[in-house]
Amino acid sequence: RRHIPSSPTLILDGPGLRDNFYLNVVDWAATNIVAVGLEGVCYLYHPRTGLVQPVAQAAGGDEGGYVTSVGFRRDGVRLAVGSSGGKVELVDAQETTAHISSLGGGGEGRASSLSWGGPHELAAGFAGGAVAIFDVRRRGGAACTLPAHRGEVCGLRFAPDGVAQLASGSNDHTVRVCDVRSPRAARLELTAHSAAVKALDFCPWRRHCLATGGGTTDGSIRIWDTGAAAERELQSVATGSQVSGVRWSVARRELVTSHGFSSMNSTSNSVRLWRPNLLPVAQLTGHRGRVLHLAVSPDGGTALSAGSDETLRFWKI
């Protein structure tokens, strides 16, 4: 029988990790490098060596500027860093002293979420509700802007190669799925959640399969068919707690989720594993505050959670 350790294999301090549900300041690259934003600085952590390097400074904004989002390109070579001032910086994740360019703000307020499509296609979601898609080869503003949400865009995810879709989750409780070839209108608007939707991820082995998770007053995980002509839910489960992250793991074809506030103490501040049909597999606890961010290693064998207790915890899954 499979054994999943109940304790993390590693705990790192993360001083300055903001207790803010709407930010996205942790990502794990295909090259096995972790990016984390701590107050005004983005750092890279190398799991193989333990090396920690500062790589980018937040640009402008209130309180002197702080990191609000990070996102690696799919090959792990480029890193985008969003800031409270609404700017997005591009850096070389392999040559950490190499600053590539700055992208002008594509919307009002902080750049809360980021997602890469192709090698030159970067989407950014903003506090004012806008989603901008940049061609990073161009200087200046966004190549195009999608129809705005009615609240902060706190989740953003391109579909895997071969599916030209971008999903955006917002504090307006909706998820929009746009066809990036004709992004002037949302292809689908998913309205079943009753709280902010930050957690979303497309399944890497099943086309048009999107997992989403709702905030405190919702607490549900839902799986959707984004290839359907109208809103079509495939599975759902009530978790009893705020869902702050969802990621598919290719190692065992499971769904990994992270959780914060809860009306049921037994489900709060945890990382949970699910089968694709949303039957529970395991629950991992240890954070002394809500889990705000979630990432999964390139091989799918390790989950990384970052919490309001200012720790990063690595779990063997």
pLDDT of 266-312, one tens digit each?
678 999 999 999 999 999 999 999 999 999 999 999 999 999 999 99
What pLDDT is stored for residue 265 in this prediction? 64
Q: How far is CA 168 from CA 106, 133, 188, 246, in A?
A: 15, 12, 11, 14
Q: What is the pLDDT of residues 42-74, one digit of tens each?
A: 999 999 999 999 999 987 544 569 999 999 999
pLDDT confidence of residue 139 = 74
CA angle, residues 290, 292, 293, in degrees to nearest 5: 140
pLDDT, position 199 = 98
CA separation for the pair 158, 2 (Å, rounded): 32
Q: What is the pLDDT of residues 219-257, one digit of tens each?
A: 999 999 999 989 999 999 999 999 999 999 988 999 999
pLDDT(10) > 60: yes
Domain positions in the chain are 13-316
Q: What is the mean pLDDT of the chain?
A: 92
Q: How confident is the model over 89-111, as a mean pLDDT? A: 79
Q: DSSP state, 264?
A: S
Is the model's pLDDT at 104 over the cut of 80? no
- The reported pTM is 0.94
pLDDT for the residue 97: 63
Fold annotation for 13-316 = Methylamine Dehydrogenase; Chain H (2.130.10)
- What percentage of the chain exceeds 90 in pLDDT? 80
Query: How far is 87 from 48, CA to CA, in rounded Å?
Result: 31
Of residues 35, 38, 40, 45, the one with CA closest to residue 18: 38
Task: Say if residue 105's pLDDT is above 90.
Answer: no
- The DSSP symbol for 266 reads G
Residue 195, pLDDT score:
97
Alpha helical stretches, state H, the chain: none
pLDDT category of residue 77 using cuts at 50, 70 and 90: very high
